[in-house]
Amino acid sequence: MKGRYRRKYSRFPRTKLLGKATMKDLQGIFPIALLVGLALWAFSSCSQNEPQQSSIKSATSTARSARTATARKKVLIRTPTPSGGASANMRGRLRVVRERVNVREGPGTEFSIIGTVAQGDRFTIMGKNRAGDWYKLCCLATEQGWIYGPLVEVENGHPVTVAEDAPLAPTPSGPYLTVTKSMNIRDGPGTNYPVVGGASPGQHFPLTGRNAAGDWWQINYNGSQAWAFGQLVSATGVDEVKVAASIPTPPPAPQAPTESPGGVIPGTPGIITRVIDGDTIDVTFNDGTTERIRFFDVNTPETRGGVECFGPQASQFTESFHGQRVGVESRGRDRYNRLLAYIWLPDGRLLNEELTRGGYARYRDYGNPGKYAARVRAAAQQAQRSGAGLWSHC
């Protein structure tokens, strides 16, 4: 049987049998296998492409994040850092408190205007002039300039140093004087005349005349005639300067008060121990008590809660009496419990009256005029007519 079996099937090689069976079977299987193969190829291609697509998404996300970060930086960087590097963070800031204010090339009205700023604008303070009444600011567009101090408010407590690069005033044509020390400019040739303003070292003013003694010079001061003491200036071209044709009549000497039984001046004696502003002081009396005093019949421009025009100058004037012995003639108290008073100086002058005479204060009685209201009001009217102090600056 074995041999017969071998002979019987020897005609059909195993390969042929398998081949026939395979071809027959594959006739139905081939389309399925083809579809499976295509599916496997597609799956393999997708798997290989996924990392690339993920990388593209990651790169796109990174680029978007970078653009967002850059945009945020542009929003945060509002203004360039002023010159001075990190130290600029320690500089003061000022805010404009008047509606429109000129910015000039230098610290004075004789310098050219480079632009204007509006109320509420803020700038970095780069320095001040030696007199302390002009500030150097940064920046109007890209240019630094100078702005008048009483028209701005300093917003923080950083100290402001003198700007050593402050330009000198342009030299006038013809005879002129140059200020050598900080000084008062007065309405006439003498310290008994009202103060109409001030001048800083380096400022120039055209000469228009002199007094007969030759120790006072008449100048063109902001468009008006005023006087400067000769020992505080140097004059150029004086040979052409003649005695002024019109010299103001000296003001009447202040009326000396009647001596009180307790001392040289009326009122309660004390010493000015602190100056709050132009019209408010602290006085310490002989018994050791200290009172806050508001001057009667006057009102000076403010320096607290907003700096008003000529407020710093009024405060500086009152500060010049710091430490002096005075007489306090009280008129009661105000709603803040401050003494309302007239302040008498050792030489017999009434400080309330001197404030209005020099143009540092306006007459203001708030509907309750005091004993010397007429004197204080008359001095204020004279200051207004002559343009003294705030009457020409504000």
CATH number at residue 317: 2.40.50.90
150 domain residue, yes or no: yes
Phi/psi-derived region of residue 342, left when phi > 0, alpha when psi is between -120 and 50, beta in every other case: beta
Residue % of the chain over a pLDDT of 90: 31
Same domain as 141, residue 223: no
Same domain as 288, residue 330: yes
First-to-final CA distance of the chain: 140
Give the domain range for residue 102: 85-154
**Residue 82: CB atoms within 10 Å:** 18
Please give the radius of gyration of the chain, using alpha carbons only, rounded to the nearest integer. 44
Residue 117 sits in a domain of what CATH number?
Answer: 2.30.30.40
11 domain residue, yes or no: no
CA atoms of 331 and 350, how far apart (whole Å): 15
The pTM is what? 0.41
φ and ψ at 230, to 5 degrees? -65, -30
3 domain residue, yes or no: no
Same domain as 190, residue 107: no
Same domain as 278, residue 210: no
CA atoms of 47 and 41, how far apart (whole Å): 10
Give tens-digit pLDDT for 25-47.
555 666 676 777 776 766 555 54
Q: How confident is the model at residue 260 (pLDDT cuts 50, 70, 90)?
A: very low
Give tens-digit pLDDT for 160-170.
888 888 887 67
Same domain as 314, residue 284: yes
Which residues does the annotation mark as catalytic? 294, 302, 338
Spatial CB neighbours of 383, under 8 Å, sequence gap ≥ 6:
194, 356, 357, 358, 359, 389, 391
Same domain as 383, residue 347: yes
Interstrand relation of 268-277 and 195-199 (parallel, antiparallel or unpaired): unpaired
245 domain residue, yes or no: no
Same domain as 385, residue 330: yes
Same domain as 372, residue 299: yes
Same domain as 180, residue 148: no
- 351 vs 99: which has the higher pLDDT: 351
Give tens-digit pLDDT for 182-232.
777 888 998 878 777 777 777 888 999 999 999 999 998 877 889 999 999
Number of domains forming the structure of the chain? 3
Q: How confident is the model at residue 261 (pLDDT cuts 50, 70, 90)?
A: very low
Same domain as 368, residue 275: yes
Same domain as 192, residue 110: no
- State the chain's mean pLDDT as an integer: 77
Measuring CA to CA, how many Å separate 149 from each of 132, 154, 208, 341, 391? 8, 9, 28, 30, 17
56 domain residue, yes or no: no
- 267 vs 81: which has the higher pLDDT: 267
45 domain residue, yes or no: no
CA atoms of 284 and 270, how far apart (whole Å): 5
Same domain as 235, residue 137: no
326 domain residue, yes or no: yes
In 14-120, DSSP assigns E strands to: 93-96, 100-104, 113-118
Pair 217, 228: CB distance under 8 Å? yes
